């Protein structure tokens, strides 16, 4: 069997600064190929910290933050699974509604709509995000579509806005969810 390939989509939320060390590196060590696409703001964050180049160096694959031209070949390999980590409340809402307004969301919306590539999402949200009137409907829509959510009090207890800076993401649960959906 060839090494599995993860299409990792990252958003500008807490934990982004640790995604290379806590998610990508352990997966690469375990034999995964990881192709990373980031939202426009996440690209700015990663470039300003130097992580953008370090991710490319570790994976050997270009980090995507914009769409390719129609005449260009995709710089990323075919993936066995997508994971959106960390996912902002905005991204979760857009995925639930099928809004693909940037490169990162386009590929995941296609995977959700196509139903043939598993998708794992870790919503990096707080209690105010989850208290929005449409939030439950978004979570339910993604669940009905077969998206595997790393979500709930047992993995990510909700907190008040700006009350948990530096809170460590549930990296082990995220890695286990990714491995589980590819093994299924």
Q: How far apart are CA 147 and CA 141, in angstroms?
A: 9
Give the other-Cβ count within 10 Å of 170's Cβ: 18
Q: How far apart are the first and last CA of the chain?
A: 15
DSSP state of 117: S
Say which CATH topology domain 5-183 has. Rossmann fold (3.40.50)
- The percent of residues above 90 in pLDDT, for the chain, comes to 89
pLDDT band at 171 (very low <50, low <70, confident <90, very high): very high
Give rounded-to-5 percent helix, strand, coil for the chain: 45, 15, 40
Where do the structural domains in the chain lie, given as residue ranges? Answer: 5-183
Q: What is the pLDDT of residues 38-80, one digit of tens each?
A: 999 999 999 999 999 999 999 999 999 988 888 988 889 999 9
State how far the alpha carbon of 127 is from the alpha carbons of 17, 49, 97, 147, in Å. Answer: 22, 28, 21, 21
Q: How many Å apart are CA 24 and CA 56, to the nearest integer?
A: 11
d(C-alpha 88, C-alpha 94), whole Å: 10
The rounded distance, in Å, linking the Cα atoms of 168 and 30 is 22
pLDDT tens, 35-46? Answer: 999 999 999 999
Residue-wise pLDDT for 113-131, tens only, equals 999 999 999 999 999 999 9
């Amino acid at each position: 069997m060839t090494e599995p390939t993860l299409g990792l989509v990252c958003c500008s939320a807490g934990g982004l600064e640790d995604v290379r060390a806590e998610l990508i590196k352990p997966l690469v060590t375990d034999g995964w190929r990881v192709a990373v696409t980031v939202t426009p703001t996440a690209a700015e964050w990663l470039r300003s910290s130097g992580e953008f180049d370090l991710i490319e160096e570790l994976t050997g694959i270009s980090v995507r933050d914009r769409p390719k031209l129609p005449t260009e070949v995709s710089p990323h390999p075919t993936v066995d699974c997508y994971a959106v980590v960390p996912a902002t409340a905005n991204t979760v809402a857009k995925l639930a509604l099928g809004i693909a307004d940037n490169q990162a969301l386009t590929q995941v919306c296609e995977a959700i709509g196509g139903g043939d590539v598993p998708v794992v999402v870790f919503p990096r949200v707080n209690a105010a995000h989850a208290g929005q009137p449409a939030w439950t409907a978004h979570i339910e829509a993604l669940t009905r579509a077969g998206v595997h959510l790393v979500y709930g009090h047992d993995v990510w207890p909700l907190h008040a806005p700006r009350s948990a800076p530096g809170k460590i993401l549930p990296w082990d649960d995220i890695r286990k969810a990714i491995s589980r959906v590819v093994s299924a």
